[in-house]
Structures are given as structure tokens and as C-alpha cells.
Chain A
């Protein structure tokens, strides 16, 4: 069986798994990293949103053979370690401040999408707009959308 090596949340990991298995299942079913959730498997609901090399992506739509050994995957479990200090990531703190979560199933994906959105907007040298927030595709069946919008604005401020 082919071996695949990549960076996951700051560590190098090697897994034995067939080519073509989507990264989501490598994470969840092979490595037991369960923060990224399944909600559709076709890159629609965005519940599995994680980062590859600092950018948001949906591992349900990426075969493992497209990930190389220098690629760094960050899941919600590794987000806090991408910033200084022992605490949570500022976006996670913002989520707590606004008590965003209800059932919590979509929230790891929401937070990972939010961080990537803030980074992108910042790279473009501008502030977050309502249109940016409207463009977030992540489904929240509990309907926490207004709190998500507030938390992203708060998180963006504290991301400095």
C-alpha cells in the first residue's frame, strides 16, 4: 500500500493508505483527527474546512496523493499552535466571547474559514465587508450566522 508523508499540525506524519482516498478520511478514519467534520463530502457544506499551507481548503475534495511531504495541513486541533502563547487562537477566543456555538458540529470548519478569510482580506489591505461575510459558504443548521459574523469581526481585530 502506498505511503504518504506530510506535515500535520506541526508534526511530520506518514500513513499507509491508497492513492485517491480523500484527505478528510485520512485524517478522520486513519489518523483519528476528528475536528474536521463530514457534512456533505462534495465541498458544499464546508464542515471539514482546514488549512493547507495557511489557506483554507476542504479535505473532502482533495485526494491524498495531491498532498506532498512539504505540505502543511492544519486542522482545528492545530490552530491554536499557529499563534504565539499557550492559549487559544484569537478567532477561537472570539467564538467564546460571542458564545457562537450551538450544537458545535460546523464550528471547527467555520473558525478555520474565518481565519483564512481574515488573512486574505488583510493581504488585500482592506477591512472585512458584509459582502465578504455573505460569501462564507459554511452551513450552520442551528442558524448561528449572525453570531458568526460578529465573532469574525471581533477575531479580526484581535488578530492584530
Chain B
């Protein structure tokens, strides 16, 4: 892998902000979480240029925080260590590391002494506790720095009294404050001596970039040692007293429900089993070990109600979507029209850590522990499920084993609450892997139709009609008010969310004359399929459709794909990433027959991404054998160049690009859910065929450009769309065929024997010792 670091320096403007020192003993400070949000611009929404150019989803999420005007705080303990409870969730995207870097720099404290934990649900934050849209660093960047600067100032003031010096003569370094005479005080000593008579407002000036030691340079994740030693704790690793393993026996149909259990007594007698009860999503079983839960789930004899799409196949859904396509405005003009239609199948949004949560419901109150990206929404939904007031529900946020949008939903927390209430005992509820693709959240199936008009060497129009199974937005913006709007019975509230997000995220950054991109979600109530804004929402599909068409337009006009994109791109930022990726990835180098390069760009998250891949579609590669593996075409080389705006941790950005690539690669070639007869066939990682080592490019490199932007961009999702599109474009060029359904292997003969639906989970194997190595 290349290491073309070119570390972008952090360009910070010298700006003065107001923060608060909290009255009392010791040093606790606060800053307004809405600091640094730029004033809303360009509203009402103009028709040209496209909305996302002026006001994107991140502006929207950032501005949602404005009315909250609430506080985040940093506390300095008696050892001089800083503590910050981040009102966001770490799921692997590196935000705890980036935030610790910001605090360490502003506070002049070694990063090892900055402790970032995850805040429990804080309903008073209203809109401001949602982890999504790659928005964390964009929205937290200034408030966190201001809080750290206020803490530093408070420590210096306390030290000045102790040392008998004036504040401006003191120097703070690595957690120690030195006076001109050589006497010194640690932060711990200063904090212990501080007595603040009452909460007061203070003005601070943030450091300039020259004095930042960490920000802008690569930094290892702060939880790296815990991760490699097994000490990092996830929800199922917590030791909550008497919370025993619990699993749910689910219906054979998607979203089927349990009517009755025919053998409850027998199952209750099974080894280790303590409780069995019907809950809204199936039959919950509690036992001493999860293995015994699995055995009990398999033994249950349940009468099931039908699901929400009984008898339906993927082809039925496609027919529904095609029928609901919005009309194209420009008529078909013979040879001048270039048309394409692209189908994107369902794929699971699961993380490796399954849905899970711990719940202890008793005496009219509930406590939840879980990896939750919308904890306020979880709190409200758990309260509703239990018939409690929201104040009686405590929601503790635990680091998650991946999310990819999945943990915006609190499904497992709500199930755990139901189960704990039914059993009258604490539970540690976890989904079986088979439940995840079959009953879990999926990226919605969609069809994207495009018509462009080319006349006299120019592209005159480019129209896209994206028709999708509805994306479920019922988590709203993480709190009750907007969640309720999204959940309005007709589904029109949810459609409003979808349309808004589509409008705010989708932008075709080319000069193609008249551009229209419209979304339609027929049957808008998001209740038939369990969808969600799986990583990057609409963008991977929309970008893949667009970029394939851009290659076709280039071919129609006899232009090289890179030269054609260059000459039509509206944005300098995108042109820079395109130029650089073409150079680094050696665009245009000679490739053997059956192999090809493919290139794609994407503009979103206040930045731009370009990806260049080389794919090998020769039979000897496509048919290579790895045991029980979906091999197929191999991407041998991938180059990603990103302008992510102001970068806190370039290593973190590169990690997100690598991960986004793995995601895009899978979605282009192998990763899907087959809907057959009202349920999804896939029930394991091998079935779903997510990217594995045998699919991974042998040569992967990523370069983070030194951005002209002074604002941080979002990186958690920015790598997916251009990666998926570049792989699709490369496949088209290598095979000479335009791919029209994704993943490309969707209609290949099924590579697995579907596991049973009754029982809904496979047996635990017993032959593990014959596979040791």
C-alpha cells in the first residue's frame, strides 16, 4: 500500500469564542454545542444550481443543532486528566480519537490523559445527539476546542493565584504550568485548588495552527491497545448483574409475528433456559448461555402470523418500482438520446457485532446499555414500548462494533426492553447472525433511470429518476419530535424526510445542461421492509448509475473518460481529486485484454472523492477457487484520493476510505439479499458475500489532499459511492458489457443452499476441531 502522506496542515482561523466556567470546586467548563455553525445560507432552496452545492445534508444536520443551544463540558480531575463525554457514538469511525486530539492540542495535555467517553441519552440536547451523515467532526470541531480552551484558561487562572504570578506570564505544557521563576504546578494541583464562586462566561481565543502539535498529523486510534488485547468492551461484554443471554425466535416470513407457542413448557425445561415469552418481534428465550438460547430457539414450535411481504419476490418489487417511476421531462430524441436503467438490489446493513442491547426493566423504570446512534430516540421508543415516561428510562451508550447506519435504529434495545419486562429479569439480548440479513435493516432496493441528450458534441440534458423502496427515517433526527413526524401513518412524513435528504445529498457535479435528479418512494410507509439509511444512503446507487452513464457519454463523443470528466466538471475540488487519482493510479496505462481501469468521482460531505481501480475479469481469475468463497472478478489495484476539507487525523480519513472502498466493492460485485417468497434467503456472511480477503485489492493506496477548505468535512461515508461506481465502470470496460443490475453477480446461480426458515437459525456446529490450523 502506498503511503503518499502529504500531511495536510490544519488551517485554523484565529477566532474568539465565549465559553463557561462552571461554579464550584475544581475545574469544569462548558461550551455551546452550536458554536461554529455557519449561518444558514441559500434558503429558500433555489432551483439552480443544485441544492446540495449550496446547502448540503451536513449544513442541515449542523443547523438542526442551533435551537438547542446546549452545553458540552470538560472536567479536569485531581490528577490533571481531562474528561469529556461525547454526545455521539463511536462505531469504528475514529471520532473519539479525533476529538481527543482536538482537546489535547487546545489544552496542552498529552493525549493519553484525555479520556473521551460516550454520553448517555441527554434529551435536553434535542436534535444534537445523532451520529449520522458523517457529521460528528463537522459539528463538534469548534465547540470541543472552545471547551478545551476555556479549561486551559481556568487552570491558568487557578495556577496564577497559587503561584503568585500573573496569568500572562505562565506557560502551560504537557499538563504542567510554569511560572517565570521556575515554580510549577500540575493541572491536577491547579484543578484541586480552583474554587469558582459562580458560573461565569469567559472569552477565549483558539490556538493558531502553528501551535497545534497533533491536529493534522496521523495519529493512532486511542483505543488501539484495548482493541488488540481484547479489552475493548462492547455491549455484550458488559457485566450487568443477572443479565442473562437472550435471543429471539423469529418468523419464517419477513416481519412475521408469533401467534402462539405450542411447546413453551418443554422449552422452559431445556438445559439452562430460564424464561420463554412472546414479544412483538417473535418469541424471546432467556438462558444461562447464548448456546442454550440457540438450542431453545431451534426447539420452539410456534404458530406464526404472515409477514409484511408474503409471497413477494425481488422481481415483484422491481415491477412496483418501475410502475412508479416519475416521468422524464425531455422526450426521447432518436440517436441523440442516451438511456440507461440500473437496478440495485437489497443488501444487509449489518455490522459484525449483531444487534444487541442489555436491558433491566423493573419497578417502573428501565436501564438500557447499547450501541445506539440516536439514544434520545431509543429512550423515547423504549419508554413508549414499556408505557413509562421518558424520564424513567436511562440509556447508556456503549461503543459499537461497526454501524454503517444500522445503529441509528434501536431495534435491539426495544426488544430487550420488551423481553426484560416480560421476564421480570434483566436480559442481554443479541440477534443470531441468521436474523441479521433476514430480518435486519437493509439498504433499500432501487431502480435508477437516466436519459441524457447529446447534440452537436455537447451534453444538453441529463435526467435521473431514482425510484426506491422507502428508506426508514423513523429515528428522525434522533429525538422524538422529528421521529414522530417521520412516523405519520400515511408514510408521507417519512417521504418528506427522504425527499429532503435526497435533495440535500445528491449533486451531479457536471456541466450537462439541464440536470434533474428526482426521487420517488412509492408506498412510502416504511413498514413493509426494514430499511435504513445504510452507509451513504442514496449516493452509492445514484453515483454508480451516473458514472456509468458518464462513461457512455464520453464513449458516444469519442472522448477519454478522464478527459471528458475534466472538461465537464463544475467544481475545482472535484477536478483536483480526479487529476491526482489519474496521476497516482496511472490512468491510461496499457492493460491486458479482459482487464481494465475504471474511474469515478463523487462530491458530498463538503469534500470530494475520486477512485481509480484496475479489475481482472479474465476466466482464470474469475474462476479461481477458495473454499466456500464467492470469488469472481478481482480488483487488483485501487487508488483513492480524497479532499476531506480540514483534516484532524489523516490516518483516520485513510482508514475510512479503505473501509468505504471495501463497502463499495462488495455492493458493486457480490453483496446482496435475495428476496424470494416473502423472505430473504441469506443467513450468513458466506451467503451474503461481503468483501473478504479473497476479494481485497492487492494494491490499495489512499491520498488525502491538502484541502483549500478551512472546515472539516465528513469522512465516514465519503469513500463508498465513488468506489462502487469505479468498480462498476471498470467491469464495464473490461467486459465490454454495461452492467444494469447490482451486485453484478445477482443473477448468477445461487452459490449457497439456503438455511432453514423453521427453525430460523442454523444449528451450532460440532466439528470445529476438524478445521484447526
Contact = CB atoms under 8 A, between A and B. Distances in A.
Interface of A: 17-18, 20-26, 28-30, 32, 34-45, 47, 52, 55-63, 66, 75-77, 80, 88, 92, 95-96, 99-108, 111, 116-117, 120, 130, 133-150
Interface string B112-136: 0000000000000000000000000
B750 to A, nearest CB: 17
B73 interface: no
B765 A61 contact: yes
Given A18-B271, A29-B245, A105 B772 contact: no
B228 interface: yes
A117 B236 CA distance: 28
A42 B658 CA distance: 28
B731 interface: no
B310 interface: no
Given A29-B290, A135-B694, A141-B690, A103 B229 contact: no
Given A21-B292, A134-B626, A141 B404 contact: yes
Given A41-B764, A102-B659, A143-B662, A88 B229 contact: yes
A17 B685 CA distance: 30
13 contacts: A34-B236, A38-B290, A43-B771, A58-B768, A80-B229, A88-B228, A95-B228, A96-B224, A108-B227, A116-B773, A137-B692, A142-B352, A146-B696
Interface stretch (B51-59, B87-95, B461-469): B87-95
A101 B224 contact: yes
B684 A42 contact: yes
B534 to A, nearest CB: 12
Given A92-B228, A108-B228, A139-B692, 18 more contacts: A32-B239, A35-B230, A38-B236, A41-B294, A42-B764, A45-B685, A76-B230, A77-B230, A92-B229, A101-B224, A101-B228, A116-B773, A134-B626, A137-B693, A142-B92, A143-B662, A143-B691, A145-B693
Question: Considering the complex of A and B, which 8 residue pairs feature the smallest CB-CB distances, nearest first?
Answer: A143-B662, A35-B230, A103-B92, A61-B768, A105-B401, A104-B227, A76-B230, A25-B289
Given A21-B291, A139-B692, A146-B658, A103 B430 contact: no
Interface in B685-718: 685-686, 690-694, 696-698, 700
A109 to B, nearest CB: 10
Given A66-B769, A149-B693, A143 B661 contact: yes
Nearest to B701: A146
Contact residues of B: prevailing secondary structure: loop
How many of chain B's residues touch chain A, expressed as a range?
35 or more
B111 to A, nearest CB: 14
Nearest to B767: A61
A22 to B, nearest CB: 5
Contacts of A37: 234, 352-353, 401
A60 B292 CA distance: 12
Contacts of B403: 103
B402 A146 contact: no
Contact of A39 (B230, B288, B433, B765): B433
Contacts of A88: 225, 228-229
Contact of B225 (A20, A29, A36, A96): A96
Given A45-B352, A102-B92, A40 B684 contact: yes
B48 to A, nearest CB: 37
Contact of A17 (B221, B289, B655): B289
